[in-house]
Structure 1
Amino acid sequence: MTASPRILTDVRDAVGTVEISNPARRNALSVAMMTELTIALRALDNDPAVRVVVLRGAGEQVFVSGADISEFPDREDEAARQAADDAATTLFAQLSALSVPVIARIHGYCLGAGMALALGADLRCADTRSVLAIPAARLGVGYPLEQTAALVQTVGPAAASDLLFTGRRLPAEEAHAMGLVDRVVEPDELGKVVDELAVTIAANAPLSVRAAKASIRAVRGGNEADGAADETVRRLATEAIARCRTSQDLREGALAFLEKRPPEFVGR
């Protein structure tokens, strides 16, 4: 495992893991950490050995407790505030642009910016002790438009209104019923469930999985309100699907099926 000051990355068996580590601040995201996380995600997406990414917080008590509030006073300075906004915008844009599937492994508190990270994932697995919330209204923060859009697409406008207007904390089971998380398991099972899910995805044809992700993004309308941007997202999905038709992996998949053996996909 290689480490930057607060972001740890590991690649093993085609699974890239990113661990957010800031124990003194309950894994809160500082501006510097947002920049480091952006770089780590970009590097993993550009690594041909990586077929799926797992996001997690260090330890077992907190996923991410939000943005680092200790830095908020500095944001009274216009330059500092702009730097913080830019770091957050770049991070979530990078997360949204990842071509490989992302799994959020949620344990304990998942609040504010942690929720934004989870919403940027394709799949969210939580343990039964998890607590999820967006306390922006309790802090005087305007929750970003892009993350609000992701929330509405995930749970619908009424549930999104409930979460944003009240800032209340949801236990894992209620979050699951709302559609905010996909799976809820006991704490000692979370690692196993996420690992099995990641391995299953990584074993499939990488071009097919990327095409599926691109298509889902296109159906959801991309991450822009701009019609031209929507058209670009659709074009990229169409191109990703077309690449599968002439791929070596398509031939391998058919041959493995006929020979009744597991396929060995190479991603081309």
Structure 2
Amino acid sequence: MYQTILTTLENGICTITINRPDKMNALNKDVINDLGQALEEVYNNNEVRAAIITGAGEKAFVAGADISEFIPLGDREGAQLAQRGRELVFDKIENCPKPIIAAVNGFSLGGGCELAMACHIRVASVNAKFGQPEINLGIIPGYGGTQRLTRLVGKGKAMEMIMTADMVGAEEAKALGLVNHVVASEDLLTKAKEILAKIAAKPPLAVAKIIACVNEGANADPMGFDNEIRRFGECFATEDMKEGAAAFLEKRKPVFKGK
């Protein structure tokens, strides 16, 4: 079904592995197409409750884009390339109503760093390195990197990272707020699944609303506060809200059904 990725579904978690280890899992048109299709499955398959995106091997999550595809492009084609990738993959990840974790193994550079930042949560292996080295090619990040990095690490550090192309290691990335957790390489997927198992026990309709609200907060959406109030109200019309309140009062664990 896919040329460049592998997918597995276990306990409601779809693990998407970019499988080009000989190319450091670099993004090209085929990877973007495959990721787009896999994300459609995440959105539309009711058996999928959450997803993990990772890279094959221990050297790289995604070490950038396939530069050979850039050479023949003009300004219009370059803009179209970026827009298509954002629509098919990056914005689709960020706006997914189901939680998506980036399990970052090794290099996460350029489009790889942008891919990780589009995810809702990032877990990194101790050998992970993050960076936006596009300036070395005479270009800038095009898959949302200038915007998402600024939101995650602040204006000053984003300016420095993007203009110098310097990489940051896993621990510095955690200190900056770029990643949530740093673990040993062998524990990477286990940690991601552990977090998703906690979220899976929560009401999925509320989880989807949280994702939408926090995204609006990160984007400084002027309607963010009003939308929070609206979604808060919508929760009261769900069976899960009644179950959660009843379970709290009855001092038992709630059983949420996504209704």
TM-score under structure 2 length normalisation: 0.90
Residue number in structure 2 paired with 1:28: 26
- Alignment of 1:251 onto 2:248: no
User: Shift of the alpha carbon at 1:234?
Assistant: 6.1
State the percentage of identical aligned residues: 32
Cα deviation, 1:190-238, whole Å, max 9, x if unaligned, reads: 222111001111111111111111111222236xxxx7xx54x666655
Give secondary structure in 2 for the equivalent of 1:32. helix
Cα deviation, 1:106-128, whole Å, max 9, x if unaligned, reads: 01111100100111111111011
| Equivalent in 77, 84, 88 of residue 87 of structure 1 | 84
Q: What is the identity, as a one-letter code, of the residue corresponding to 1:206?
A: P
Tell me how far apart the structure 2 counterparts of residues 145 and 61 of structure 1 sit (CA, whole Å): 22
- Alignment of 1:264 onto 2:248: no
List aligned pairs for 1:56-95, cutoff 5 A.
56-75=54-73, 81=78, 84-90=81-87, 91-95=89-93
- Contact 2:86–2:143 (CA<8 Å) still a contact in 1? no
Q: What is the identity, as a one-letter code, of the residue corresponding to 2:252?
A: R
Tell me how far apart the structure 1 counterparts of residues 83 and 192 of structure 2 sit (CA, whole Å): 31
- Alignment of 1:240 onto 2:237: no
Tell me how far apart the structure 2 counterparts of residues 258 and 20 of structure 1 sit (CA, whole Å): 45
Tell me how far apart the structure 1 counterparts of residues 33 and 231 of structure 2 sit (CA, whole Å): 29
TM-score under structure 1 length normalisation: 0.87
Tell me how far apart the structure 2 counterparts of residues 39 and 12 of structure 1 sit (CA, whole Å): 19
Tell me how far apart the structure 2 counterparts of residues 85 and 221 of structure 1 sit (CA, whole Å): 19
Moved more, 32-41 or 257-266: 257-266
Q: What is the identity, as a one-letter code, of the residue corresponding to 2:82?
A: D
- Contact 1:108–1:130 (CA<8 Å) still a contact in 2? yes
- Contact 1:19–1:55 (CA<8 Å) still a contact in 2? yes
- Alignment of 1:46 onto 2:44: yes
Name stretches of at least 5 consecutive residues in structure 1 with no aligned partner: none
- Contact 1:214–1:236 (CA<8 Å) still a contact in 2? no
| Equivalent in 116, 119, 124 of residue 117 of structure 2 | 119
List 4+ stretches of structure 1 deviating above 6 A: none
Compute the RMSD of aligned alpha carbons: 2.2
User: Shift of the alpha carbon at 1:132?
Assistant: 1.0
